[in-house]
Amino acid sequence: MEKEIIKDKTLDEKMAIADEISRNYFRQGLNCTECVLRTFMDMYETELPDDILCMATGFGGGIGHTKNICGAITGAVMALGTLKGRRDPFGPKEEMGERVKNLQQNIYPLFGQMVNEIQNEYGTLICSEMSQPFGDFDSKPRKKNCMEIIAYCARLTCKYAEK
């Protein structure tokens, strides 16, 4: 589950590593969603190819730069899904009731708790609302704010990977 970079580390240490890696990716030009997902893929054995990152690209800037749901949050959900998502949602039909029950009782609540924790921290999940106090979307203060949100989401994803 964990790569060498975080083996035998405490949760606080893992979160600090995620913070640093995600900030560095943002500085290198990855968008918010890519930063969180790539960080998680660097730290955990996801069993997914590196080019899966291309699926995250369109979620940056609040989905295609529309400033809707924050891309860092989307990246956190995608990242957590690499470990906690269903591997076979098409399982045998006779087990469909159990698959749905597991989804509703075990999987959705974990993702929901993480998203609710982010919303409690920032008061919203919407990119434009999170960015608005920092002025122009291309401003340095807005970019710094986004880096903070990216790092927070990367740290939080590590926390929920442990559950």
Q: What per-residue confidence (pLDDT) applies to 22?
A: 98
Q: What per-residue confidence (pLDDT) applies to 26?
A: 97
Closest CA to 61 of 91, 89, 98, 30: 30
Q: What per-residue confidence (pLDDT) applies to 101?
A: 87
How many other C-beta atoms lie within 10 A of the C-beta of residue 84?
Answer: 16
Q: Which residues of the chain have pLDDT under 50?
A: none
Average pLDDT, the chain: 93
Angstrom CA distances, 21 to 6, 14, 35, 42, 73, stand at 12, 11, 8, 9, 16
Q: What per-residue confidence (pLDDT) applies to 160?
A: 97
Q: What are phi and psi of 157, to 5 degrees?
A: -65, -40
> How close are the terminal C-alpha atoms of the chain, in Å?
13
Q: What per-residue confidence (pLDDT) applies to 31?
A: 97
Q: What per-residue confidence (pLDDT) applies to 118?
A: 98
Closest CA to 83 of 40, 22, 135, 34: 40
Q: How far apart are CA 110 and CA 87, in angstroms?
A: 16
Contact 129, 52 (CB under 8 A): no
Q: How far apart are CA 46 and CA 161, in angstroms?
A: 11
Q: What per-residue confidence (pLDDT) applies to 86?
A: 87
Q: What per-residue confidence (pLDDT) applies to 92?
A: 72
